[in-house]
Structure 1
Amino acid sequence: MAQRYDLVIIGSGPGGYVAAVRAAQLGFKTACVEKDERLGGVCLNVGCIPSKALLDSSEFYHLARERLAVHGVRVGEVSLDLAAMMARKEKVVKELTDNLRKLLDGNRVTVIRGEARLAGATRVEVKPAGDAGGDPLSLEARFILLATGSEPVAVPGIPFDGRRLVDSTGALAFTEVPKRLGVVGGGYIGLELGSIWRRLGSAVTVIEMMPQIAGLLDGQVSRTLERILRKQGFQLALNARVLKAETDGDGVNLTWESGGKEHRGVFDKVLVAVGRRPLTRNLGLEDAGVTVDPTTGRVIVDASFRTEIPTVYAIGDLIPGPMLAHKASAEGIAAVEAMAGYSSEVNYEAIPSVIYTFPEVASVGLTEEQAREQNISYCVGTYPFTGVGRARCMGETEGFVKVLSHSRTDRLLGVHILGPRASDMIAECVLAMEFGAAAEDIARAVHGHPTFSEALQEAAKVAWECISRV
């Protein structure tokens, strides 16, 4: 006999668990199905959280080795205990996943471990996970929410072996620092994980098929980040296409083509980070009648995140848009509120993105290139962190803030920050765009002194003053 719920959610990542809590708050009897032992999906277990834990730890190591002396702090010989660093990462992950379990239990969300598959418009079949055995569990629901996330994409001819040729999960669990690390893909995953191992002593070579790293960034920001990373010791091969990878006793022999010439490198480890694809395998979408874009593999939904089947919804990495944890969370809330009959939406023009290199990169809204492509008349204001007192005090002066505003209305079109605390500073910009603020609004708002946020205020002033000259 089927267990009955108002809502069954497949996946417990940032989209699924946030949706589950919101559904419970709205009075839905909710179940969340997760195939893995720990809740939280890719983000909490092998993505956002462990990577940031290692980024922070590796930055402390780098600071102790390279930058404390200038502040008058003398230390003895600095050594690396990679096992302890990895243990701390695991502790952070466990604490957060344990807290997530308490959060769902506290909101009376039923957590079911197993592999879920659609068995109809209102039915989910759950196969017990692992070696648990037993008969499949049948769940009946008024609504079903698909939130299974995504998985790494492999490059043809470079299959993951989990030892030398690894995906992002493997690159978070090395037991020793590779002397030579090859990174195929210059997007945010490759740059962040490359940064971890570069700080810890690896010689890092990034091979990117596009003419610039982090190709979705504003061009000026991307070019400056490239210069900074090269200065940090990154080797960057752009406009490059990987031809083959061969493993032997010495490591991985990687061959790539760039500028009409073949190049070769030998690496201890190669991280393949060319992107991710929706994780729809074995979900039973076709049998249930859920339409998937044959080109992208994304589930097609309407403005309320509903598929062609009125009772089945999808969010996060499964549907079009950037593959970001906070996007999935926002969509999860909006989807559940739509099920409850509320008017809810996600403003995709005000979704921030962050790259946790050092310095950080954070953006929201249009890039300058996009504004040109859309024939939008705009003003630009930039301000360097070299002119900010707090940045000078902390010795973190690389980078700048860039503000784009409409040349007639002064309304914010986009903000791009390359510099210290960018991941936190961008929140002000997101809020400003949500409220339809103008560059003048940010320029006139009083910002604390001395703070990094003064660079944003100054860039906004430049953009605002530009209007009088247009």
Structure 2
Amino acid sequence: MTHYDVLVIGTGSGNSIINHRFDDLKVAIAESARFGGTCLNVGCIPTKMFVHTADLARDAADGERFGIDTSFNGANWQSIRDRIFSRIDEIESSGRDYRTHELDNVTVYPEHVEFTGARSFRSASGKEFTADRIVIATGSHPFVPEAEGLDPERVDTPGYPVRTSDTVMRIDALPESMVVIGGGIIAAEFAHVFASLGVEVTVLVRGERLLKNSDELVSERFTKAFGATPRVDLRTGTTATHYEIREDADAAQGQPGTRAVRLTTDAGDVIDTDLVLVATGRKPTTERLGLEHTDIDVENGSITVDEYQRVLSGGKPLAGVFALGDVSSDYQLKHVANHEARIVKDNLLADIASGSLGGAQESDLTEVNHHAVPAAVFSHPQSASVGLTEAEAREAGCEYTVKVQEYSDVAYGWALEDTTGFCKVIADRTSGQILGAHILGAEASMIIQPLIQAMAFGLPADQMAKGQYWIHPALPEVVENALLGLELD
């Protein structure tokens, strides 16, 4: 039976672990899907390329507000799609080829691999092998809720008019109509993309607001703004309960007056549509890993790790076994997975250098840093956040102060004709340390970065506001004015 020094399962952020420092080791990498993981192939990167295109389309349709004669006249979907995925697929292919053909010490298993024991494995094709040290980086997959008439096994398969984010970006043509199920980040981004490109989009949200995990003010204002989006029919407090799918769904798509899916909601509404996008979140990919043949701790479907990214067994570190990213993290974010991968690489090498499985002392290990983790939603309007929401600060008993600064209060906000955007900063009233920040509006993901930096390095709000120049009349002035408006002791 083949034996490896190191096995990495998953090629998202896990793929970045193996470098020249592993040249003297026998390494295996397993990937059952595309190289590069969720972010490269079905997540962050292609979605943002679509979002930018959608933003251009929306701006073209909105020229009259600024006194210019522009319009949106339609989208060449295949051109958009192929431009994006020609780049994505080339990167995926080059990464796969590099690992497969250019590294003599690396064996790639381009198939599903599962545990058959604590350190033994079997591939989908029946190959069996063992490994001393293991990195589990299998990411996450879309969650598809049960509903009458919906076949989860057929979702994302050719000809079935129900998709998830894994496949919806590669469809052959824009539908005339679409129903988006969900009210989180994925739903908000894709509804923006397809509505901006000309699709009539109905969004069904189980709760009363979109982005319900955001700060309440962000969630409220985003919901109001998004509900006013052209070609968007937002229905809150609504759940799809029954799917009726035409057997000739493929042929039905694109035919005037013919729809591939008929949805019934708990409110009794009937919606006929060409395509349904299920965007109800993602689950850690631990199913079918064969974890029942191990003693690995799993909680709510997620592999449990300690502060050194070591996998736990019975609450204690399992020697030489690490996990990272969506399969084990509370944060389904690529920048967090990348950070965790760096921690795993350092600690894996420390464990190898110790000469025995689990031999590295904790003083030789690097601890993960989950302080000041930011996130953004690339929809319209855009939003970004870091740290505590106001509700969380209140529940934690913090003595805090809050300032909300409107985009419309600063000069660049006037240039944007913005009536929605704002910057909200939450700070400790005594120390001035920033506890959280939330921005809704143009370029939110960019202008929040100084606030992330201040939180990461412990810079108090008053020093941040007064200790540097802020370019006038740039948009970050909304951040400056929010900081200056905080009432500190």
Give the structure-1-normalised TM-score. Answer: 0.88
Range that drifts further, 243-252 or 184-193: 243-252
- The verdict on how the C-alpha distance between 1:212 and 1:87 changes in structure 2, with shifts beyond 3 A counting, is same
* Match for residue 291 of structure 1 among 285, 297, 300: 297
Q: In the alignment, which residue of structure 1 is the partner of 2:15?
A: 17
Counterpart amino acid of residue 355 in structure 1 = V
List runs of 5+ in structure 2 lacking aligned partners: 247-251, 253-258, 351-363
Deviations 1:217-258 (A, max 9, x none): 00001111111111213322222232212123633222222x
Q: In the alignment, which residue of structure 1 is the partner of 2:426?
A: 404
List runs of 5+ in structure 1 lacking aligned partners: 129-134
Question: Does structure 1 residue 136 correspond to structure 2 residue 127?
Answer: yes
* Match for residue 449 of structure 2 among 423, 427, 436: 427
Counterpart amino acid of residue 281 in structure 1 = E
* Match for residue 239 of structure 1 among 237, 254, 271: 237
**Post-superposition offset of 1:213:** 0.9
C-alpha distance in 1 between matches for 2:449 and 2:22: 26
**Post-superposition offset of 1:391:** 3.7
- The verdict on how the C-alpha distance between 1:382 and 1:175 changes in structure 2, with shifts beyond 3 A counting, is same
Paired residues of 1:20 and 1:31 also in contact (CA < 8 A): no
Q: In the alignment, which residue of structure 2 is the partner of 1:152?
A: 142
**Post-superposition offset of 1:60:** 1.8
**Post-superposition offset of 1:322:** 2.3
* Match for residue 481 of structure 2 among 445, 449, 458: 458
SS at match of 2:11: coil
**Post-superposition offset of 1:436:** 1.8
1:105-116 equivalences in 2 (<5 Å)? 110=106, 112=108, 113-116=110-113
Range that drifts further, 165-174 or 353-362: 165-174
Paired residues of 1:35 and 1:114 also in contact (CA < 8 A): yes
**Post-superposition offset of 1:396:** 5.2
**Post-superposition offset of 1:35:** 1.8
C-alpha distance in 1 between matches for 2:411 and 2:458: 29
Question: Does structure 1 residue 442 correspond to structure 2 residue 464?
Answer: yes
Give the structure-2-normalised TM-score. Answer: 0.84
- The verdict on how the C-alpha distance between 1:441 and 1:110 changes in structure 2, with shifts beyond 3 A counting, is farther
- The verdict on how the C-alpha distance between 1:25 and 1:206 changes in structure 2, with shifts beyond 3 A counting, is same
Q: In the alignment, which residue of structure 2 is the partner of 1:209?
A: 206
Counterpart amino acid of residue 450 in structure 1 = P
Counterpart amino acid of residue 331 in structure 1 = E
**Post-superposition offset of 1:372:** 1.2
C-alpha distance in 1 between matches for 2:398 and 2:411: 34
Q: In the alignment, which residue of structure 2 is the partner of 1:384?
A: 406
C-alpha distance in 2 between matches for 1:26 and 1:416: 44
1:143-222 equivalences in 2 (<5 Å)? 143-157=133-147, 158-160=150-152, 161-162=155-156, 163-222=160-219
- The verdict on how the C-alpha distance between 1:68 and 1:336 changes in structure 2, with shifts beyond 3 A counting, is farther
SS at match of 2:222: helix
Q: In the alignment, which residue of structure 1 is the partner of 2:353?
A: none
Counterpart amino acid of residue 473 in structure 2 = P
- The verdict on how the C-alpha distance between 1:148 and 1:79 changes in structure 2, with shifts beyond 3 A counting, is same
Question: Does structure 1 residue 467 correspond to structure 2 residue 459?
Answer: no
**Post-superposition offset of 1:192:** 0.5
- The verdict on how the C-alpha distance between 1:107 and 1:434 changes in structure 2, with shifts beyond 3 A counting, is farther
C-alpha distance in 2 between matches for 1:348 and 1:410: 21
Identity across the alignment (%): 27
SS at match of 1:371: helix
Q: In the alignment, which residue of structure 1 is the partner of 2:339?
A: 330
Q: In the alignment, which residue of structure 1 is the partner of 2:321?
A: 312
- The verdict on how the C-alpha distance between 1:252 and 1:148 changes in structure 2, with shifts beyond 3 A counting, is same
SS at match of 2:402: strand
C-alpha distance in 1 between matches for 2:284 and 2:70: 47
**Post-superposition offset of 1:108:** 7.9
Counterpart amino acid of residue 488 in structure 2 = I
> How many pairs align?
449
Q: In the alignment, which residue of structure 2 is the partner of 1:375?
A: 397
Q: In the alignment, which residue of structure 2 is the partner of 1:59?
A: 55
Counterpart amino acid of residue 170 in structure 1 = T
Question: Does structure 1 residue 266 correspond to structure 2 residue 269?
Answer: no
1:18-33 equivalences in 2 (<5 Å)? 18-21=16-19, 24=21, 30-33=27-30
Paired residues of 2:63 and 2:71 also in contact (CA < 8 A): no
Q: In the alignment, which residue of structure 1 is the partner of 2:73?
A: 78
